Amino acid sequence: MKAFVVDKYGKSGVRAAKVPDPTIGPRDVLVQICAASINPLDIRVRNGELKQLLKYKTPFVLGHDLAGVVTGVGSEVRNCKIGDEVYARPRDMRIGTFAEYIAVDHADLALKPASLTMEEAAALPLVSLAAWQSLAELAQVKPGQKVLIHAGAGGLGSTAIQLGKHLGAYVATTANGKDAQKLRDLGADEIIDYTTANFAMQLSGYDVVIDSLGGDNLSRSLTVLKPGGLAISVVGPPDTAFASQLGQPLLKPVMWILSRNVRAQAKKLGVRYSFFCMRANGEQLKALSSLYDAGVLRPVVDRAFEFNDTLEAIAYVEKGRAKGKVVTVMPSIGTL
């Protein structure tokens, strides 16, 4: 089958290639991929930024999101059947959605939202799971709380705004002022135009911040929290809890060192810091499907590329200007 593989780490390390068709084990589902989406995580993996944590052996197929049709099931699979339309974010070490087929553990997928197209569904798994797990699970956001979501026009930001409002929070976001109306339509109560204003000078008393930018942005985010508030970063630095999530306790000392500066700053301010990395979860995708079908959440897709143009799609995302998710579709499905 055709796929886009990482031959070597780095910007020029991805190429189109012919690879063997996947085989399935008793817990696996074979999916013919109709659409996939590009995430910043794909670029970080391609560049080798996570190779000490996720030890992929090159060459490997890239890609973390999919929507498609089930063409085979293992002997232990009970949650879907051949012909079902599904979506998934395959678990780490089993990624590879930039391909014609993939074998996915049945626990990682769910029936796609019936009201959505394949292109729309492919845009959802990673960002929807990340939004749910960070806001509903980790932060346990409650009605009336104040949440700041950075980069609101992006894939994660646009999803987290909607979920934050669903959970009953007052939601502020940072974005280019040109996107203000779109973000209000998604539910944002307050938009800080990062091109003209410093959010840290305008906001205070927040319960939760979702940071997807890191660096100085994360440091300034700590200052807008109320005492006991929580800053969650999806770009690091990783903390000791992440070592536990990976099942690698020996990494705890390393991650303690990596995160000590931000943790010290948080402690001085009387707030908390947590690194967040989403995990595959088919049951949560099933629950999220209900929210999409009910119209509580909706996909935000910036642009669709043909599968053969996956390299161009990656380059487009890497420019950092996408307003929502970028998807790739198989020729038989068509583009948005």
Q: In terms of domains, do 106 and 148 share one?
A: no
Q: How many CA atoms lie within 13 A of 57 on its CB side?
A: 0
Q: In terms of domains, do 182 and 205 share one?
A: yes
Q: What is the extent of the structural domain holding 75? A: 2-124+299-329
DSSP bridge partners of 210: 149, 232
Contact between 74 and 25 under an 8 Å Cβ cutoff? The reply is: yes
Q: In terms of domains, do 110 and 139 share one?
A: no
pTM of the model: 0.95
Only one residue has tokens 């947590």, namely 274
Q: In terms of domains, do 185 and 244 share one?
A: yes
Helix H segments across the chain? Answer: 40-46, 118-122, 125-131, 155-166, 180-186, 199-202, 216-222, 240-246, 252-258, 260-269, 282-293, 310-318
pLDDT band at 334 (very low <50, low <70, confident <90, very high): very low
pLDDT in tens, 269-300: 999 999 999 999 999 999 999 999 999 999 99
In a domain, 283, yes or no: no
pLDDT in tens, 152-210: 999 999 999 999 999 999 999 999 999 999 999 999 999 999 999 999 999 999 999 99
Q: In terms of domains, do 271 and 135 share one?
A: yes
Contact between 83 and 70 under an 8 Å Cβ cutoff? The reply is: yes
In a domain, 293, yes or no: no
Q: What is the mean pLDDT of residues 85-92?
A: 97
Q: In terms of domains, do 119 and 134 share one?
A: no
**pLDDT exceeds cutoff 80 at 335:** no
259: region left, alpha or beta (phi > 0 left; psi from -120 to 50 alpha) = alpha
Q: In terms of domains, do 56 and 143 share one?
A: no
User: Which are the contacts of 112, defined by CB distance < 8 A and separation ≥ 6?
Assistant: 67, 85, 86, 87, 118, 121, 289
Q: How far apart are CA 205 and CA 13, in angstroms?
A: 44
Contact between 58 and 7 under an 8 Å Cβ cutoff? The reply is: yes
- Beta-strand pair 28-38/2-6: unpaired
Of residues 263, 247, 229, 285, the one with CA closest to residue 111: 285
In a domain, 111, yes or no: yes
Q: In terms of domains, do 263 and 315 share one?
A: no
Q: In terms of domains, do 84 and 171 share one?
A: no
Q: In terms of domains, do 115 and 62 share one?
A: yes
**pLDDT exceeds cutoff 80 at 127:** yes
Does residue 4 sit in helix, strand or coil? strand
CATH label of the domain that carries residue 243: 3.40.50.720
DSSP bridge partners of 37: 327
Domain count of the chain? 2
Q: In terms of domains, do 23 and 105 share one?
A: yes
Does residue 160 sit in helix, strand or coil? helix
In a domain, 284, yes or no: no
Domain boundary among 275, 291, 310: 275
CA Rg, the chain, in Å? 19
In a domain, 285, yes or no: no
In a domain, 249, yes or no: yes
